[in-house]
Amino acid sequence: MKGLNKIAEPEVFVVADNILSPIGKTTAGNFSNLKQNISGVKQYHKAGISSQPFYASLFDGEESFLKIDAGNYTKFEQLLIASIGDALQHSGINVADKKTVLIISSTKGNISLLETGEYNDALRKRIALPTSAKLVSEYFGFTTQPVIVSNACISGVLAIITGMRLLRSGQYENAVIAGADVITKFILSGFESFQALSPQICKPFDSLRDGLNLGEGAGTIILSTNKKYGQNIKVKGGSVSNDANHISGPSRTGEELAYAIKKAMEDAVISAGDIDLISAHGTATVYNDEMEAAAFALSGLQAVPLNSLKGYYGHTLGAAGLIESIVSTQSMKESLVLPTLGFEDMGVTKPLNICSELLPGNFKNCLKTASGFGGCNAAVVFGK
């Protein structure tokens, strides 16, 4: 019965995408710089964000993302609009079609408005993610109600899985999925309170890793079940889980992320031996990297080439799952896996095949993972 159901479900294809980050305004521009080992992470002295120097990947404060009407939108909304606009230009998708849905991913949205405005009913409404989603939807002329995904740091991957499921159900034919977050004093201070920030460029999975860097960015991926895109990369499967271990600390065993990984592979109708590339969450915090390593071991994926992109982008929160998924699909297209910037010596107890230099090869299936506060985990499989 499972096989029959799988055959009946339409395939979901990647139509177009965009990455808007401090190292590039397009997917091609980002990937070109990544291949040259260019990172957006550097040290900042911004008293308005932190009294201490910090490492992050931030946009130039004077940078404008929209040519017109910029004053009508916050920086967060401008990032979404600019990223979606570039992806749509290369898609041929009609946003006014009732079969096209907009999905917005973010962890913090316009929360920074709390830092500058008096908290009242008007501000409460302006900060709400549905307000931003409505503004973005109206900017482009979507006719369907936007969907919002905000579930800590798995938001971007969960948004892709949500889009895949909506398309498989037949409710929609196209999904425009976009995520963004900006870094402010409120956000930085939160991670500082956890003592989770590194005083240097982060070192995912390394023995000397000591925390993460934060980053700003936006990513958009457009999906469709239209068979004219049949030669494109597919979203083959996905799954989520929750370990319910701690409000901020991940599982000590990795079993729950491993569960999501195994269910994602089952959904994609592939096995561990079919995975050619892993794009890990890889935050460079002590517990996250150890948990992921355990999960990959439990899933039989120790030998699969793996990278983390946090050394290039920092942790872009609600955009991370989208940006890193798009980079992974580009890796499959160009048959080239990027290294894990900052990694030198193995710092996790389970063996992993961590890429430390550019790796050419024929990569047919990629696993992307994410984990976040509250014990949430997500895994999605892309394939040729």
**Same domain assignment for residues 214 and 240:** no
Into how many domains does the chain fold? 2
Let me know whether 218 and 294 are in one domain: no
Look at residue 301 in the predicted model and tell me its pLDDT. 98
Q: Are residues 59 and 95 in the same domain?
A: yes
Residue 277's CB: how many other CB atoms inside 10 A? 23
pLDDT in tens, the chain (384 residues): 344 455 579 999 999 999 999 999 999 999 999 999 999 999 999 999 999 999 999 999 878 899 888 889 999 999 999 999 999 999 999 999 999 999 999 999 999 999 887 889 999 999 999 999 999 999 999 999 999 999 999 999 999 999 999 999 999 999 999 999 999 999 999 999 888 999 999 999 999 999 999 999 999 999 999 999 999 999 999 999 999 888 888 889 999 999 999 999 999 999 999 999 999 999 999 999 999 999 999 999 999 999 999 999 999 999 999 999 999 999 999 999 999 999 999 999 999 999 999 999 999 999 999 999 999 999 999 999
What per-residue confidence (pLDDT) applies to 76? Answer: 97
Q: Hey, which residues does 217 pair with through a beta bridge?
A: 181
DSSP 30: H
Tokens 């409120």: give the residue. 186
Q: Looking at residue 1, what is its pLDDT?
A: 37
- Asked if residue 334 is part of any domain, the answer here is yes
Q: Please report whether residue 329 resides in a domain.
A: yes
Closest CA to 325 of 12, 45, 40: 12
Last residue of a domain, one of 179, 208, 228: 228
Nearest CA to 85 out of 143, 40, 26, 33 is that of: 26
Question: Does 47 fall in a domain?
Answer: yes
Helix count and strand count (H, E) for the chain: 11, 16
pLDDT at 2: 45
Handedness of CA 177, 329, 161, 287 (dihedral sign): negative
| The pLDDT of residue 244 | 86
pTM of the entire structure?
0.96
Cα of first residue to Cα of last residue in the chain, in angstroms, is 25
Distances (CA, A) of 151 to 110, 284, 312, 378: 15, 20, 23, 10
Does residue 285 lie in a domain region?
yes
What is the predicted pLDDT for the residue at 3?
46
Instruction: Give the pairing of strands 353-354 and 305-307.
Output: parallel
State how far the Cα of 97 lies from the Cα of 143, in Å rounded to an integer.
Answer: 7
DSSP output for 47-106: TTT-SS-EEEE---TT--S-SS-GGGS-HHHHHHHHHHHHHHHTT---TTSTTEEEEEE-
Of 228, 263, 278, the one marking the end of a domain is: 228
* Shared-domain flag, residues 209 and 241: no
> Where a domain ends, among 209, 228, 247?
228
CATH number, domain containing residue 150: 3.40.47.10
CB 54 within 8 A of CB 358: no
Instruction: Please indicate, yes or no, whether residues 208 and 239 belong to a single structural domain of this protein.
Output: no
Distance CA 236, CA 254 (A): 23
Q: Do 19 and 97 reside in the same domain of the chain?
A: yes
Query: Do 214 and 238 reside in the same domain of the chain?
Result: no
In this structure, are residues 270 and 383 in contact, taking their beta carbons and an 8 Å threshold? yes
Considering the domain architecture, whether residues 94 and 125 belong to the same structural domain is answered as yes
Question: How many other CB atoms are there within 10 angstroms of residue 134's CB atom?
Answer: 15
Q: By residue range, what is the domain housing residue 311?
A: 233-383
Q: What is the pLDDT of residue 57?
A: 98
In this prediction, residue 203 carries a pLDDT of 98
> What is the pLDDT, as a whole number, of residue 356?
96
Quick check: is 192 in a domain? yes
Residues 258 and 117 occupy one common structural domain = no
Q: Are residues 193 and 333 in the same domain?
A: no
Residue position matching structure tokens 């050619």? 276
